[in-house]
Amino acid sequence: MTNPGFEPVDLWDLECKAREILDPGVYDFFAGGAGEELTLADNVAAWNRLRLRPRVLRDVSRIDTSTTMLGAPVVSPLAVAPMAFQRLADPDGELAAARGATAAGNVMVVATGATVRLEDVAAAVPHGQCWFQLYVLRDRDLTADIVRRAAAAGYHALVLTVDTPVVGVRRRDQRNRFRLPDQIIAENVTPMPVTQADKRRPSLDHDPNVTSKDIAWLVEVSGLPVVCKGVLSSDDARLCVAAGAAAVIVSNHGGRQLDTVLSSADALPGIVQAVGDTAEVYVDGGIRNGSSVLKALALGAQGVFVGRPIIWGLVTGGASGVQTVLDSLRQELATAMTLCGASSVKMLTPDLIAGTGPSIS
Protein backbone atom coordinates (compact mmCIF):
# COMPACT_ATOMS: atom_id res chain seq x y z
CA MET A 1 0.00 0.00 0.00
CA THR A 2 3.04 2.24 -0.20
CA ASN A 3 2.95 4.95 -2.85
CA PRO A 4 6.53 5.66 -3.82
CA GLY A 5 5.72 8.35 -6.41
CA PHE A 6 3.44 10.27 -4.09
CA GLU A 7 4.92 13.30 -2.32
CA PRO A 8 2.38 15.18 -0.26
CA VAL A 9 3.53 18.63 0.77
CA ASP A 10 1.13 18.78 3.70
CA LEU A 11 -1.44 16.74 5.56
CA TRP A 12 -4.26 17.98 3.34
CA ASP A 13 -2.54 16.39 0.37
CA LEU A 14 -2.26 13.21 2.36
CA GLU A 15 -5.97 13.24 3.15
CA CYS A 16 -6.79 13.73 -0.55
CA LYS A 17 -4.66 10.73 -1.44
CA ALA A 18 -6.23 8.59 1.28
CA ARG A 19 -9.68 9.59 0.11
CA GLU A 20 -8.88 8.34 -3.36
CA ILE A 21 -7.83 4.98 -1.94
CA LEU A 22 -10.54 4.37 0.62
CA ASP A 23 -14.08 3.13 0.19
CA PRO A 24 -16.21 6.30 0.44
CA GLY A 25 -18.16 5.02 3.43
CA VAL A 26 -14.98 4.23 5.31
CA TYR A 27 -13.50 7.59 4.40
CA ASP A 28 -16.62 9.29 5.74
CA PHE A 29 -16.52 7.17 8.91
CA PHE A 30 -13.05 8.49 9.69
CA ALA A 31 -13.39 12.01 8.29
CA GLY A 32 -16.88 12.88 9.49
CA GLY A 33 -18.20 14.53 12.61
CA ALA A 34 -21.38 14.99 14.57
CA GLY A 35 -24.35 17.02 13.38
CA GLU A 36 -23.61 19.66 10.79
CA GLU A 37 -19.86 19.26 11.44
CA LEU A 38 -19.43 22.84 12.66
CA THR A 39 -17.13 21.81 15.50
CA LEU A 40 -15.24 19.54 13.11
CA ALA A 41 -14.40 22.61 11.00
CA ASP A 42 -13.89 24.89 14.00
CA ASN A 43 -11.29 22.56 15.50
CA VAL A 44 -9.01 23.35 12.57
CA ALA A 45 -10.06 26.99 12.19
CA ALA A 46 -9.51 27.79 15.87
CA TRP A 47 -5.81 26.98 15.69
CA ASN A 48 -5.49 29.11 12.57
CA ARG A 49 -7.27 32.04 14.21
CA LEU A 50 -4.55 32.20 16.84
CA ARG A 51 -1.89 34.61 15.61
CA LEU A 52 1.76 33.99 16.43
CA ARG A 53 4.14 36.75 17.49
CA PRO A 54 7.59 35.20 16.94
CA ARG A 55 10.76 36.22 18.74
CA VAL A 56 13.96 36.73 16.78
CA LEU A 57 17.70 37.09 17.40
CA ARG A 58 17.93 33.99 19.54
CA ASP A 59 20.31 31.12 19.13
CA VAL A 60 18.31 28.48 17.29
CA SER A 61 21.20 26.45 15.97
CA ARG A 62 19.98 23.42 17.90
CA ILE A 63 16.27 22.75 18.15
CA ASP A 64 15.21 20.19 20.70
CA THR A 65 11.63 18.99 20.30
CA SER A 66 11.97 16.30 22.95
CA THR A 67 9.93 16.32 26.12
CA THR A 68 8.31 13.86 28.49
CA MET A 69 4.78 12.57 28.72
CA LEU A 70 3.84 11.06 32.09
CA GLY A 71 7.54 11.09 32.84
CA ALA A 72 8.63 9.04 29.86
CA PRO A 73 10.92 10.69 27.33
CA VAL A 74 9.50 11.23 23.85
CA VAL A 75 11.12 12.58 20.71
CA SER A 76 8.42 15.22 20.38
CA PRO A 77 5.19 16.11 22.18
CA LEU A 78 3.18 14.40 19.46
CA ALA A 79 1.19 11.24 20.11
CA VAL A 80 -1.21 8.97 18.25
CA ALA A 81 -4.76 9.58 19.46
CA PRO A 82 -6.92 6.53 20.18
CA MET A 83 -9.00 5.51 17.17
CA ALA A 84 -11.00 2.35 16.71
CA PHE A 85 -11.07 -0.03 13.76
CA GLN A 86 -7.70 0.76 12.26
CA ARG A 87 -7.81 -2.35 10.10
CA LEU A 88 -10.33 -0.36 8.02
CA ALA A 89 -7.32 1.76 7.05
CA ASP A 90 -4.56 -0.82 6.76
CA PRO A 91 -4.46 -4.63 6.82
CA ASP A 92 -2.20 -4.58 9.86
CA GLY A 93 -4.27 -1.93 11.58
CA GLU A 94 -3.08 -1.01 15.07
CA LEU A 95 0.07 -3.10 14.64
CA ALA A 96 1.17 -0.82 11.82
CA ALA A 97 0.20 2.32 13.69
CA ALA A 98 2.11 1.24 16.79
CA ARG A 99 5.17 0.39 14.73
CA GLY A 100 5.01 3.79 13.02
CA ALA A 101 4.57 5.68 16.27
CA THR A 102 7.39 3.78 17.92
CA ALA A 103 9.69 4.36 15.00
CA ALA A 104 8.93 8.05 15.26
CA GLY A 105 9.58 8.01 18.99
CA ASN A 106 6.03 8.92 20.01
CA VAL A 107 3.32 7.52 22.25
CA MET A 108 0.70 5.26 20.65
CA VAL A 109 -2.73 4.97 22.24
CA VAL A 110 -4.45 1.67 21.45
CA ALA A 111 -8.24 1.91 21.52
CA THR A 112 -10.77 -0.32 23.20
CA GLY A 113 -12.15 -0.73 19.69
CA ALA A 114 -8.80 -1.90 18.30
CA THR A 115 -8.99 -4.55 15.62
CA VAL A 116 -5.83 -6.27 16.85
CA ARG A 117 -5.53 -7.92 20.27
CA LEU A 118 -3.95 -5.49 22.70
CA GLU A 119 -1.33 -8.04 23.70
CA ASP A 120 -0.25 -8.40 20.07
CA VAL A 121 0.12 -4.66 19.64
CA ALA A 122 2.25 -4.38 22.75
CA ALA A 123 4.37 -7.33 21.69
CA ALA A 124 5.01 -5.74 18.31
CA VAL A 125 6.69 -2.72 19.84
CA PRO A 126 8.49 -3.97 22.93
CA HIS A 127 10.35 -0.68 23.37
CA GLY A 128 7.40 1.49 22.42
CA GLN A 129 5.32 3.73 24.62
CA CYS A 130 1.83 2.24 24.35
CA TRP A 131 -1.11 3.55 26.31
CA PHE A 132 -4.52 1.89 26.35
CA GLN A 133 -7.73 3.81 25.74
CA LEU A 134 -10.66 2.58 27.77
CA TYR A 135 -14.40 2.80 27.42
CA VAL A 136 -16.01 1.71 30.66
CA LEU A 137 -18.60 -0.81 29.56
CA ARG A 138 -21.83 -1.69 31.33
CA ASP A 139 -20.22 -5.02 32.10
CA ARG A 140 -17.80 -3.90 34.79
CA ASP A 141 -16.19 -7.32 35.09
CA LEU A 142 -15.36 -7.33 31.41
CA THR A 143 -14.03 -3.77 31.82
CA ALA A 144 -11.80 -4.76 34.73
CA ASP A 145 -10.59 -7.75 32.77
CA ILE A 146 -9.53 -5.57 29.83
CA VAL A 147 -7.79 -3.16 32.16
CA ARG A 148 -5.84 -5.96 33.85
CA ARG A 149 -4.87 -7.39 30.46
CA ALA A 150 -3.56 -3.98 29.39
CA ALA A 151 -1.52 -3.62 32.56
CA ALA A 152 -0.15 -7.14 32.17
CA ALA A 153 0.76 -6.49 28.55
CA GLY A 154 2.93 -3.56 29.58
CA TYR A 155 0.82 -0.59 28.64
CA HIS A 156 2.13 2.50 30.38
CA ALA A 157 -1.10 4.33 30.98
CA LEU A 158 -4.86 4.12 30.73
CA VAL A 159 -6.69 6.77 28.71
CA LEU A 160 -10.22 6.90 30.03
CA THR A 161 -12.57 8.47 27.49
CA VAL A 162 -15.06 10.52 29.46
CA ASP A 163 -17.06 12.19 26.70
CA THR A 164 -18.80 9.15 25.25
CA PRO A 165 -21.60 7.88 27.48
CA VAL A 166 -23.30 7.34 24.12
CA VAL A 167 -21.81 7.49 20.65
CA GLY A 168 -22.49 10.77 18.83
CA VAL A 169 -24.82 10.99 15.86
CA ARG A 170 -22.88 11.25 12.63
CA ARG A 171 -24.93 12.21 9.62
CA ARG A 172 -22.49 10.81 7.10
CA ASP A 173 -22.66 7.34 8.62
CA GLN A 174 -26.44 7.59 8.67
CA ARG A 175 -26.62 8.63 5.04
CA ASN A 176 -24.17 5.91 4.06
CA ARG A 177 -25.89 3.34 6.29
CA PHE A 178 -22.36 2.56 7.32
CA ARG A 179 -21.67 -0.89 8.77
CA LEU A 180 -18.38 -2.42 9.73
CA PRO A 181 -17.35 -5.15 7.29
CA ASP A 182 -17.63 -8.60 8.87
CA GLN A 183 -13.89 -9.11 9.03
CA ILE A 184 -13.35 -5.95 11.07
CA ILE A 185 -13.72 -7.04 14.65
CA ALA A 186 -13.06 -5.25 17.88
CA GLU A 187 -10.78 -8.02 19.07
CA ASN A 188 -10.42 -6.95 22.68
CA VAL A 189 -14.08 -6.99 23.48
CA THR A 190 -17.01 -8.62 21.90
CA PRO A 191 -18.02 -6.43 19.00
CA MET A 192 -19.40 -3.02 19.93
CA PRO A 193 -21.81 -0.80 18.06
CA VAL A 194 -20.37 1.76 15.71
CA THR A 195 -23.36 4.03 15.42
CA GLN A 196 -26.39 4.59 17.55
CA ALA A 197 -28.52 2.90 14.94
CA ASP A 198 -26.36 -0.19 15.05
CA LYS A 199 -28.35 -2.74 17.02
CA ARG A 200 -26.39 -5.87 16.13
CA ARG A 201 -24.47 -6.26 19.32
CA PRO A 202 -26.55 -4.61 22.01
CA SER A 203 -24.74 -6.30 24.91
CA LEU A 204 -21.67 -4.11 24.62
CA ASP A 205 -22.55 -0.48 24.85
CA HIS A 206 -20.81 2.10 26.97
CA ASP A 207 -21.77 2.51 30.57
CA PRO A 208 -23.57 5.84 30.75
CA ASN A 209 -22.87 6.02 34.46
CA VAL A 210 -19.17 6.64 34.65
CA THR A 211 -18.23 9.17 37.29
CA SER A 212 -15.09 10.46 38.90
CA LYS A 213 -15.17 7.59 41.38
CA ASP A 214 -14.32 5.28 38.51
CA ILE A 215 -11.02 7.07 38.06
CA ALA A 216 -9.83 5.89 41.45
CA TRP A 217 -11.22 2.45 40.72
CA LEU A 218 -9.22 2.24 37.49
CA VAL A 219 -6.04 3.43 39.15
CA GLU A 220 -6.52 0.69 41.70
CA VAL A 221 -7.39 -2.07 39.25
CA SER A 222 -4.63 -1.21 36.78
CA GLY A 223 -1.85 0.23 38.86
CA LEU A 224 -1.37 2.59 35.92
CA PRO A 225 -1.61 6.36 35.61
CA VAL A 226 -5.06 7.34 34.32
CA VAL A 227 -5.49 10.04 31.70
CA CYS A 228 -8.99 11.49 31.28
CA LYS A 229 -9.77 12.23 27.65
CA GLY A 230 -12.62 14.48 26.57
CA VAL A 231 -12.54 17.35 29.04
CA LEU A 232 -13.67 20.83 27.94
CA SER A 233 -14.58 22.39 31.30
CA SER A 234 -12.20 23.61 33.97
CA ASP A 235 -14.39 22.22 36.71
CA ASP A 236 -14.28 18.76 35.15
CA ALA A 237 -10.52 18.98 34.75
CA ARG A 238 -10.11 19.79 38.45
CA LEU A 239 -12.53 17.01 39.32
CA CYS A 240 -10.53 14.48 37.32
CA VAL A 241 -7.28 15.47 38.96
CA ALA A 242 -8.82 15.45 42.41
CA ALA A 243 -10.09 11.94 41.69
CA GLY A 244 -6.63 10.72 40.81
CA ALA A 245 -6.08 11.43 37.13
CA ALA A 246 -2.46 11.96 36.16
CA ALA A 247 -3.41 13.98 33.11
CA VAL A 248 -6.36 15.26 31.10
CA ILE A 249 -6.78 15.51 27.36
CA VAL A 250 -8.67 18.59 26.25
CA SER A 251 -10.77 17.14 23.47
CA ASN A 252 -14.16 17.19 21.82
CA HIS A 253 -13.58 13.77 20.32
CA GLY A 254 -12.57 15.27 16.99
CA GLY A 255 -15.96 16.91 16.62
CA ARG A 256 -17.56 13.46 16.50
CA GLN A 257 -19.73 13.60 19.62
CA LEU A 258 -21.76 16.81 19.95
CA ASP A 259 -21.81 19.53 17.35
CA THR A 260 -21.16 23.18 18.23
CA VAL A 261 -19.14 22.35 21.32
CA LEU A 262 -16.14 24.55 21.97
CA SER A 263 -13.08 23.87 19.85
CA SER A 264 -10.25 22.27 21.77
CA ALA A 265 -7.96 25.23 20.98
CA ASP A 266 -10.45 27.57 22.60
CA ALA A 267 -10.92 25.29 25.62
CA LEU A 268 -7.23 24.68 26.29
CA PRO A 269 -6.11 27.87 28.09
CA GLY A 270 -8.82 27.72 30.75
CA ILE A 271 -8.01 24.13 31.57
CA VAL A 272 -4.27 24.75 31.72
CA GLN A 273 -4.97 27.52 34.19
CA ALA A 274 -7.34 25.38 36.26
CA VAL A 275 -5.03 22.39 36.47
CA GLY A 276 -1.78 24.26 37.03
CA ASP A 277 0.99 21.91 38.06
CA THR A 278 -1.28 19.26 39.54
CA ALA A 279 -1.41 17.16 36.36
CA GLU A 280 -0.35 17.18 32.74
CA VAL A 281 -2.68 18.70 30.15
CA TYR A 282 -2.80 17.38 26.62
CA VAL A 283 -4.95 18.38 23.68
CA ASP A 284 -6.26 16.90 20.45
CA GLY A 285 -8.47 18.08 17.60
CA GLY A 286 -7.75 19.95 14.40
CA ILE A 287 -3.96 19.55 14.44
CA ARG A 288 -2.85 19.63 10.83
CA ASN A 289 0.51 21.42 10.90
CA GLY A 290 3.47 22.27 13.07
CA SER A 291 2.31 25.81 13.81
CA SER A 292 -0.78 24.42 15.50
CA VAL A 293 1.36 22.05 17.57
CA LEU A 294 3.54 24.97 18.62
CA LYS A 295 0.47 27.00 19.62
CA ALA A 296 -0.86 24.16 21.75
CA LEU A 297 2.45 23.90 23.55
CA ALA A 298 2.70 27.68 23.94
CA LEU A 299 -0.74 27.65 25.57
CA GLY A 300 0.46 25.07 28.07
CA ALA A 301 -0.17 21.64 26.61
CA GLN A 302 2.40 19.01 27.53
CA GLY A 303 1.44 16.79 24.61
CA VAL A 304 -0.55 16.99 21.39
CA PHE A 305 -2.54 14.04 20.06
CA VAL A 306 -3.08 13.53 16.37
CA GLY A 307 -6.01 11.56 15.03
CA ARG A 308 -7.25 11.54 11.45
CA PRO A 309 -3.85 12.33 9.87
CA ILE A 310 -2.58 9.07 11.39
CA ILE A 311 -5.35 7.24 9.56
CA TRP A 312 -4.37 8.93 6.30
CA GLY A 313 -0.79 7.88 6.99
CA LEU A 314 -1.93 4.29 7.55
CA VAL A 315 -3.97 4.27 4.37
CA THR A 316 -1.24 5.71 2.19
CA GLY A 317 1.77 4.02 3.71
CA GLY A 318 1.07 1.69 6.61
CA ALA A 319 3.54 1.87 9.50
CA SER A 320 5.88 3.93 7.42
CA GLY A 321 3.07 6.31 6.52
CA VAL A 322 2.31 6.82 10.20
CA GLN A 323 5.95 7.48 10.91
CA THR A 324 6.05 9.98 8.04
CA VAL A 325 3.08 11.88 9.46
CA LEU A 326 4.68 12.10 12.90
CA ASP A 327 8.13 12.90 11.52
CA SER A 328 6.86 15.61 9.24
CA LEU A 329 4.80 17.21 12.01
CA ARG A 330 7.87 17.07 14.25
CA GLN A 331 9.93 18.67 11.48
CA GLU A 332 7.27 21.36 10.98
CA LEU A 333 7.27 21.95 14.74
CA ALA A 334 11.04 22.29 14.69
CA THR A 335 10.86 24.81 11.86
CA ALA A 336 8.16 26.75 13.66
CA MET A 337 10.25 26.72 16.86
CA THR A 338 13.26 27.97 14.91
CA LEU A 339 11.21 30.77 13.41
CA CYS A 340 9.75 31.65 16.83
CA GLY A 341 13.16 31.80 18.47
CA ALA A 342 12.51 28.83 20.74
CA SER A 343 15.17 26.14 20.85
CA SER A 344 13.30 23.88 23.29
CA VAL A 345 9.67 23.18 24.07
CA LYS A 346 10.10 24.84 27.46
CA MET A 347 10.68 28.11 25.63
CA LEU A 348 7.21 27.90 24.09
CA THR A 349 5.33 30.35 26.31
CA PRO A 350 1.96 32.12 26.01
CA ASP A 351 3.52 35.41 24.94
CA LEU A 352 4.14 33.84 21.53
CA ILE A 353 0.39 34.02 20.94
CA ALA A 354 -0.57 37.52 19.83
CA GLY A 355 -4.30 36.96 20.12
CA THR A 356 -7.10 35.86 17.92
CA GLY A 357 -7.42 37.18 14.39
CA PRO A 358 -10.29 36.83 11.95
CA SER A 359 -10.73 33.56 10.12
CA ILE A 360 -9.23 33.63 6.67
CA SER A 361 -10.29 31.20 4.02
**Residues 297-326 within binding reach of a second copy (CB under 8 A):** none
Cα 312 to Cα 31, 90, 316, 321, distances in angstroms:
10, 10, 6, 8
| 253: annotated active-site residue | yes
- CB of 249 closer than 8 Å to CB of 216: no
State which of residues 67, 76, 143, 289 lies at the interface with a second copy (CB under 8 A). Answer: 289
Quote the Cα angle for 309-81-108, to 5°: 105
State which of residues 24, 71, 91, 208 lies at the interface with a second copy (CB under 8 A). Answer: 208
With contacts defined by CB under 8 A, how many residues of the chain interact with a second copy?
A: 71
Report, in Å, the least distance between residue 175 CB and a second copy.
Answer: 6
What residue type is 236 in one-letter code?
Answer: D
Comparison of 87 and 172: residue with beta carbon closer to a second copy: 172
Q: Residue 236, interface with a second copy (CB under 8 A)?
A: yes
Site for a second copy in 20-79 (CB under 8 A): 35-36, 38, 41-42, 45, 47-61
Q: In 10 A of CB 154, how many CB atoms?
A: 15
Which residue in 159, 152, 194 sits closest to 177, CA to CA? 194
The Cα 106–Cα 302 span in angstroms is 13
Cα 74 to Cα 103, 120, 156, 345, distances in angstroms:
11, 22, 13, 12
Burial class (CB in 10 A: 0-12, 13-18, 19+), 276: exposed
Comparison of 75 and 339: residue with beta carbon closer to a second copy: 339
Comparison of 32 and 93: residue with beta carbon closer to a second copy: 32
- CB of 301 closer than 8 Å to CB of 333: no
Q: Which stretch binds a second copy (CB under 8 A): 105-113, 297-305, 310-318, 353-361?
A: 353-361
Report, in Å, the least distance between residue 281 CB and a second copy.
Answer: 15
Which residue in 275, 320, 280, 322 sits closest to 303, CA to CA? 280
The Cα 17–Cα 33 span in angstroms is 20
Site string for a second copy, 248-287 (x = CB under 8 A): ---------xxxxxxx--xx--------------------
State which of residues 64, 119, 120, 212 lies at the interface with a second copy (CB under 8 A). Answer: 212
Comparison of 98 and 210: residue with beta carbon closer to a second copy: 210
Site for a second copy in 166-195 (CB under 8 A): 166, 168-169, 171, 174-175
Site string for a second copy, 119-138 (x = CB under 8 A): --------------------
Just list the catalytic residues.
253
